[in-house]
Amino acid sequence: MEGANPVSKRWTLLLVALAMIVAACGDAGSGDTTAETTAETTGETTGETTATTEGGTTDSTEAMTDGVSLRWMTRPDNPEEAAVYGSISDGLNIEGVTLTYEPGDNEGSSYQDKLLTNLSAGTAPDVFWIPGTDVARFVQEGVILDLREYASATGHNDADFYPGPMGHLTTDPATGQPADKLWGLPRDVSTFAIYVNQDLVAEAGVDNPLDLAASGEWTWDKFKEVSEGIAALGGEIKGYGQSNWWGPNGAWINAAGGNFFSDDRSACALDSAEAAAGLSFLSELYAGGSAVPFGEDPEPGFRAGTVGMFQNGRWATPGIRTVEFNWDVVGLPEGPAGPGNWLFWGAYVVNANTEHPEQAWALVQALTSTEVQAQISELGANVPSRVSQDALDAFLGFTPPANNQAFLDGLSNNPTTEGPLWLGSWPEFDAVQGPAIGDVISGARAVEDFSANICNEAAAAFGG
Amino acid sequence: MTTLDNTAEQAARDRRRSRTRRIFGVGGAYTVLIGFAAVMLFPFVYMVATALKTPEDTFRYPPKVLPRAPITTTVDGVDVPLFSLPIDGGEANVFLAEEGVEAGVFVDPASPEDSLAWPMSLATETGATATLDGESVPVYTVQVGSEARDLAFQRGTVVGRFVGIDDPSIETFAVVRIAEQESLAEGVAPQWGNFREVTELRDVDRALTNTILVTILVVAGTLFTSIMGGYAFSRLRFKGRDAIFLAYVGSIMIPFTVLIIPLFRLMVSLGWIDTLGSLVWPFLFNAYGTFLMRQFFVSIPKDLEEAAVIDGAKRWKILWGIFVPLSWPAIATLATFMFLYAWNSFIWPLVSINGANSDDFVLTIALSTLGGQSGEGPNLIFAAIVLSVTVPFLVFAFAQRYFVENVATSGIK
Amino acid sequence: MTAPPLTAETRREVGSTPAWFTPLLVWRVLVAAGFAVLLTTRRGIAIEGANRVLVLAGVTLALFVAMLAGYQTYRRRHLGRLLGFTVDLLTASVTGFMALNRMSFFNGLDAVGERFNRNIIWLVVIVAGWLISGWSERGGLSRPRIQRIGRYIMAGGAAIMVLAMGLLGAIPGVLANIADLEVVPVLGVAIVAALFARIQIGESAARLFGTTQSQSEGFDGLLFIAPNALGFLAFFAGPLIFSLVISFTEWSGLQPAEFVGLANYRELLGDALFLRSLRNIVIFGLVAVPLTVAPALLLAALLNSKLPGIRVFRAIYFLPSIAGVVGVTLIWKQLFNATVGFLNYSILEVTEFFNGLFGTAVAAPQPLWISAPEVAMISVIILFVWQRIGFDTVLFLAGMQGIDRSLYEAADIDGAGAWTRFRHITVPMLRPTTFFVVATDIILALQTFNEPFILQAPSTPAGPGNSTLTPVIYLYQQAFQQFQIGYGSAVAWALFILIFGITIIYFRRQGEDGFLKA
């Protein structure tokens, strides 16, 4: 742009030269560090692609560590959680291993998609966390390692963890049946509970859900009564809210005795009368107007103090801890078949392309040890996945909410375990049933029509 | 042309008529223009206002445009929010002294609209009952200030006890939530700190400078290649030139959508995923830019360069010394287009910048990540939006002369 | 032009054989041999799958061209120079690119980004210099003087910025990577090829090969088009062909691709979600484009008068289109919020106002702008129209200002009213502009991704009940979430065919007399 006329061009050049000399004198130190950072940064970001060239550029760091270095990644739901994982990573002491923790993106973005991208780019870490529903997809793509041989060698016992997740983690992708495989170990588990704004309950003068639960009267009818009572306060106040995804819908279906799929997950079961009963209840609840309109995100409202009850998992706790009103959690209300619930989980798995499978397995074990699980429970976002009294005791101690037991009760209420359809496609099934159930709840579609047709519509997802 | 023989009289009548019509026309025109301007501007006003709010303020209902915060006052050395509640027909400045007072909602059976939330301790049961919505409810004598009223008990609730600030003997009760909504004294209080806070959040400042860097490189690089290519297509004859040019023009039609996947795979095999390079290097070669420059160069008279000697080394000088200085309108247009494109592109960074490493975020990605988190208050998201919008607005303010006037036209030709 | 035209024969006699000619011949042979080695050894082309065929074909072609170039160079024909130069340029570009990439040169931008962040203040200095250089005369300084001062400030700021960022200091860091044994030969080839390419540009080469005037022009054309065309090939044409190829495969990106012929396209025809996305986008386009173009035309007509304040209005209307789609979508997302958003609140207030005025009791509609299936698309349309109106207005305005004034003057004399003038002069004369505006809007509308994606993210990217699922969102889901890359490519090509078809039809109907002429 400069130097359109020749005279000013010469002067400009002179000035540039002068400026360069001045700046070079004052900035000699930083020039050197640049070279180093450049080498480091590029080495890091390109990961495996430059692994072969790293010998030339990062010799010094390699020499210092004198052992294998492992990278691991998990999805933290907030910055505090990321910090805890970081300190866990620093605190772990696995012989001869240097650890690097890479915080994955939080819920706001799609962690799994990015992980798959990194896998296809060859830059994925050695050990990473994946949500329970994605196990089959990752196994079928051949990107995670069967850990059974390492586990057998180190005296690992599957029964140390809840059986639901372990069932999926030991499934043979070809048959969909349990087999002598081990795809990983669960990081944590979670169940649904209902977060209650105690101030709104008191203001509305309705029965407190926690008292109702304590006396065994926490039923669907009472739940509806509470919701309507709170909404009767008027204005923008709503009694209840749930997010728009399959989990909360599934919990109601379960409480009615139905489910998304058959027991062996090989066929659609949404056409059952029980599933219809669960959806009818939800549909009536929403038609009554006491709930946050279906599809609207209820969390901002709950945190702003305008929603009385909010169904969500343990992961919502850290965010809700910042609110200014009195709150607690209560288990899900009892439907025709009990409270019903879902068991959500995710697992640490090992990259099939890792160069150090033994050390990676050791890392997976270390990350799921009682101590580490207790440490993470402190954040409030997770329930330990290990069936260990020590870990559970630690979990119960981390309040608020005072009623942490509600989450553990969910675990013992025969929850359905979140997981893939081994012989079908969960994302495909979800893409069909999600909008359909949404239509039923918002009243756009009759339950009868739904029951009659949904399993035909979803047949493709089960390979039909 | 038939009107040439119009009489002066007719002309005068026409002028009068057109003047009245003109006044109405101008008035109508301004009404439409101002109406549209308001619609166009309101979201931006709202953006700036929301960026300056407290998190609670962003969720309030009814919504307010201007950022507000409670006015506080000091009572016994503690800062408390100031309420102004009705008491004995007037209003008094009070503060919340106690919460969670057990109370009831009492209704005048004669006029069910008139309800009152008052502590149970100030109500005594009369033993009588009244009918409310077809249900039989007990009647209480409720002591409100100096007055005792017989009211039907509708349901239980809790209230707060409010005490006068100047006069501690003043005492009144109200549902805290409603008092906070309706009676809290508030002033306009822009939270300038939001901007500082957001830059510290998830490296929004890195995203801002990354976006600036990427934009500068893309604009400069595209200008260079487009000027070179445009010159070759407009002034130099070589075999296959027209075929290549046709391919270029045709490629403008191809939506970027088709390229996302293969370009992504290319980035994967080059090892550029998750690097700023993936946002810059592939976008320095722009068929549309080449086309634009070619069209402009074609319109430059041939005699200008014929004066200069034509040979290899000289062509370079002719291009930069003669063509470029004559082509500022086209160059500015292209620069502005490329600026807007690079600054605002979303789907490509969404695909190619996908790691946990937020050091490589650009603003669009940082914004969508922030926006996807219900955890962050909208105030911070809006502060980030203000940052992302300011730079294009400034550039537009300076480039408007080129862009809006000359440039839009040359874009069409 | 000034030099007397020489025939090829006389030129050849004038120029004696320069010293570089023998090395060039050797080099030509080496290059051809190199391609032959690449073609025949397994290690040469390590690429597997669909690409292998393409690469093999490319190398075969290169080998042929290299041999031809060698022969013609030996014969001292211009074709030899042309082909030799082309081969050398391509070789230098490809190997240079590979070497630089291996040396992490291109990824070095990340480190630059970090330093840029810390030294952003110097950019402010540069911008300040630019602003100063635009000042008119002031403070006793003449305009050229001010301009020069501004330029000095810009140049100084830029120089300090480069140095403060340590860019010069970083060069040794990059160069240090040359030590990498795999880089050296590649870089060597690049440098040698570049040297020979440079020699063949030169004056002495032109003499030696007897290049004529028009041949020399063609040679220069090649030279000027090269930077653009190489990038175009690498980042546009190549990926485009690749995209077409993988649309015929089933590929997860993790396993090798499998050729499936037209299966993806056949599947598309029966894919309810894809058809739904097509339906959504066509309805969207049919509603959104007219709703954008008509008001834009009206506004442009109003702005095309001599009313004061026009510039201000024009600037205001333009703001939404430059503000950036992510930002404005997030703003509207907040306005659309059904429970606490401004839009529903305004509807409520306005309804209550009219209820009070007329004593009616009309219930205010409170649509769930984002979460109701029947409304979600309307929100996207509102957003699109709001963003696009100003841009179209400015384009129309530019078109109107290009209309010959005398036409209006003639109409004035005829006593034509404003509407008549608009209807019979403005609209017909604007046809090329209208074509451009409508075609651009259609193409944009059919590719809609950002608005619905951000409005609905992260829980339901396809919108409630798939009501805002667009083909591009579907493509994104297929290719980057489900990793059906082949299928995703088929979606892209199907969408392209749709866009292309619609544009061609529109072009046929509307464009013949307008756009083509311009």
Is there a domain that residue C289 lies in? yes
Indicate the range of A196-205, B203-212, B261-270, C211-220 predicted with least confidence: C211-220
The CA-atom distances, in angstroms, between B364 and each of A400, B342, B396, C343 are 36, 10, 19, 25
Of A73, A205, A319, the CB nearest to B157: A205
Question: Residues A10, A11, A15, A21: what is their CA dihedral angle, to the nearest 10 degrees?
Answer: 40
> pLDDT per residue over A296-339, tens digit each?
888 878 888 889 999 998 888 877 887 788 999 999 999 998 88
Is there a domain that residue C52 lies in? yes
Mean pLDDT over the full length of chain A: 80
> pLDDT per residue over B59-100, tens digit each?
777 788 888 888 888 887 888 888 888 877 778 888 888 888
Place of tokens 């039909």: A464
Of A33, A116, A304, the CB nearest to C483: A116
- A199 shares a domain with A172: no
- What are the chain C neighbours of A38 within 8 Å (beta carbons)? 104, 108, 111, 170, 173-174
- C277 shares a domain with C211: no
Smallest Cα distance from C37 to chain B, Å: 23
**C110: phi then psi, degrees, rounded to nearest 5:** -65, -45
Write the ipTM.
0.83
Of A22, A37, A42, the CB nearest to C104: A42
Is some CB atom of chain B closer than 8 A to the CB atom of A153? no
- A330 shares a domain with A231: yes
Q: Do A296 and C337 touch (CB under 8 A)?
A: yes
- Angle between helix axes C325-336 and C373-401 (nearest 10 degrees) is 130
More confident residue, C68 or A380: C68
Q: What percent of chain C has pLDDT over 90?
A: 15
* Per-residue DSSP letter, C113: H
> pLDDT per residue over A10-21, tens digit each?
555 555 555 444
Neighbours of chain A (3+ CB pairs under 8 A): B, C
pLDDT for res C388 = 92
pLDDT for res C47 = 52
Show which of residues 311-350 on chain B sit within 8 Å of chain C, judged by CB atoms. Answer: 311-312, 315, 319, 340, 343-344, 346-347
Whole-number CA gyration radius for chain A:
27
pLDDT for res B403 = 58
Burial C150-171 (b: 16+ CB within 10 A, else e): bbbbbbbbbbbbbbbbbbebbe
- What are the chain C neighbours of B396 within 8 Å (beta carbons)? 315, 318-319, 322
Kindly indicate the confidence band of residue B313, based on its pLDDT and cuts at 50, 70 and 90. low
Smallest Cα distance from C155 to chain A, Å: 6
- C82 shares a domain with C23: yes
Could you tell me if B260 and B198 are in contact, meaning their C-beta atoms sit under 8 angstroms apart?
A: no
CATH of the domain at A85: 3.40.190.10
Mean pLDDT over the full length of chain B: 81
Helices (H), C75-181: 78-102, 109-118, 120-133, 143-164, 167-176
Of A15, A52, A243, the CB nearest to C155: A15
pLDDT for res C494 = 93
Interface with C, mutate which of A27, A38, A302 (most C CBs under 10 A): A38
Q: Give the integer Cα–Cα distance in Å for C313 and C365.
A: 32
Is there a domain that residue A49 lies in? no
pLDDT for res A101 = 81
Kindly indicate the confidence band of residue A104, based on its pLDDT and cuts at 50, 70 and 90. low
Is there a domain that residue C432 lies in? yes
- C204 shares a domain with C85: yes
Smallest Cα distance from A298 to chain B, Å: 10
> pLDDT per residue over A181-197, tens digit each?
999 999 988 899 999 99
A178: preceding bond cis by omega (within 30 degrees): no
What string of DSSP letters covers B289-305? HHHHHHHHHHTS-THHH
Q: Indicate if the pLDDT at residue A283 is higher than 60.
A: yes
Q: Which residue of B has its CA nearest to C310?
A: B33
Q: Indicate if the pLDDT at residue A22 is higher than 60.
A: no
Indicate the range of B120-129, B174-183, C10-19, C132-141 predicted with least confidence: C10-19
Q: What percent of chain A has pLDDT over 70?
A: 82
Q: Give the integer Cα–Cα distance in Å for C66 and C39.
A: 13
Is there a domain that residue C64 lies in? yes
Q: Indicate if the pLDDT at residue A5 is higher than 60.
A: no
Q: Indicate if the pLDDT at residue A380 is higher than 60.
A: yes
Range of the domain at C28: 8-103+180-232
> pLDDT per residue over B267-280, tens digit each?
888 888 778 888 99
Show which of residues 133-152 on chain C sit within 8 Å of chain A, judged by CB atoms. Answer: 147-148, 151-152
Q: Give the integer Cα–Cα distance in Å for C447 and A140.
A: 33
Is there a domain that residue C370 lies in? no
Is some CB atom of chain B closer than 8 A to the CB atom of C355? no
Average pLDDT over residues A84-113: 74
Q: Do C395 and B411 touch (CB under 8 A)?
A: yes
Is there a domain that residue C242 lies in? no
Indicate the range of A387-391, B356-360, C303-307, C403-407 predicted with least confidence: B356-360
- A352 shares a domain with A336: no
- C88 shares a domain with C206: yes
Cβ partners under 8 Å of residue A200, min gap 6: A230, A233, A237, A305, A307, A308, A325, B177
* Per-residue DSSP letter, C202: S
- C193 shares a domain with C161: no
A vs B: CB pairs below 8 A: 81
Is there a domain that residue A165 lies in? yes
Q: Give the integer Cα–Cα distance in Å for B23 and A411.
A: 76
Q: Indicate if the pLDDT at residue B311 is higher than 70.
A: no
Write down the pTM of the prediction.
Answer: 0.82
Structural domains counted in chain A? 2
- C186 shares a domain with C279: no
- C97 shares a domain with C81: yes
- A317 shares a domain with A383: no
CA angle C274, C277, C283 (to 5 degrees): 145
Cβ partners under 8 Å of residue C101, min gap 6: B270, B271
- A142 shares a domain with A87: yes
pLDDT for res C360 = 82
Q: Indicate if the pLDDT at residue A7 is higher than 80.
A: no
pLDDT for res B357 = 61
Place of tokens 């009952």: B129
pLDDT for res A176 = 82
The gap from C-alpha B253 to its chain's centroid, in whole angstroms, comes to 30
Indicate the range of B121-125, C107-111, C125-129, C283-287 predicted with least confidence: C107-111
AA letter at B141: T
Smallest Cα distance from B152 to chain C, Å: 29
* Burial of B128 (C-beta count, 10 Å sphere; 0-12/13-18/19+): exposed
Beta bridge partners of B69: B187
pLDDT for res B411 = 43
pLDDT for res A32 = 36
The CA-atom distances, in angstroms, between B337 and each of B330, B391, C321 are 11, 14, 11
- C113 shares a domain with C99: no
Range of the domain at A145: 64-188+344-416
Q: Give the integer Cα–Cα distance in Å for C101 and B270.
A: 7
Show which of residues 45-104 on chain A sit within 8 Å of chain C, judged by CB atoms. Answer: 45-46, 50, 52-53, 56-57
The CA-atom distances, in angstroms, between B147 and each of A440, B124, B160, C493 are 53, 14, 20, 79
- A137 shares a domain with A90: yes
Return the closest-CA partner of residue B107 out of B126, B133, B127: B133
Q: Indicate if the pLDDT at residue C302 is higher than 50.
A: yes
Average pLDDT over residues C182-197: 84
> pLDDT per residue over C381-399, tens digit each?
999 999 999 888 888 888 8
Q: Give the integer Cα–Cα distance in Å for B411 and B330.
A: 8
- A277 shares a domain with A378: no
In chain C the first and final C-alpha atoms are separated, in Å, by 33
Helices (H), C304-368: 310-322, 325-336, 342-358
**C85: phi then psi, degrees, rounded to nearest 5:** -60, -45
Neighbours of chain B (3+ CB pairs under 8 A): A, C
pLDDT for res A110 = 61
- A330 shares a domain with A397: no
Q: Across A80-89, A192-201, B17-26, B199-208, which has the greatest mean pLDDT? A: A192-201
Could you tell me if A158 and A364 are in contact, meaning their C-beta atoms sit under 8 angstroms apart?
A: no
Kindly indicate the confidence band of residue A53, based on its pLDDT and cuts at 50, 70 and 90. very low
Average pLDDT over residues A332-354: 90
Q: Do A120 and B268 touch (CB under 8 A)?
A: yes
Q: What percent of chain A has pLDDT over 90?
A: 30
Structural domains counted in chain C? 3
- What are the chain A neighbours of B274 within 8 Å (beta carbons)? 45, 118, 123
Smallest Cα distance from B396 to chain C, Å: 8
- C195 shares a domain with C59: yes
Indicate the range of B95-99, B135-139, B198-202, C280-284 predicted with least confidence: B198-202
Kindly indicate the confidence band of residue A348, based on its pLDDT and cuts at 50, 70 and 90. very high
Q: Indicate if the pLDDT at residue B340 is higher than 90.
A: no
pLDDT for res A209 = 94
- A220 shares a domain with A180: no
CATH homologous superfamily of B196-412 equals MetI-like (1.10.3720.10)
Q: Give the integer Cα–Cα distance in Å for A128 and A352.
A: 11
Q: Indicate if the pLDDT at residue C514 is higher than 60.
A: no
In chain A the first and final C-alpha atoms are separated, in Å, by 65
> pLDDT per residue over B11-27, tens digit each?
777 777 777 777 777 78
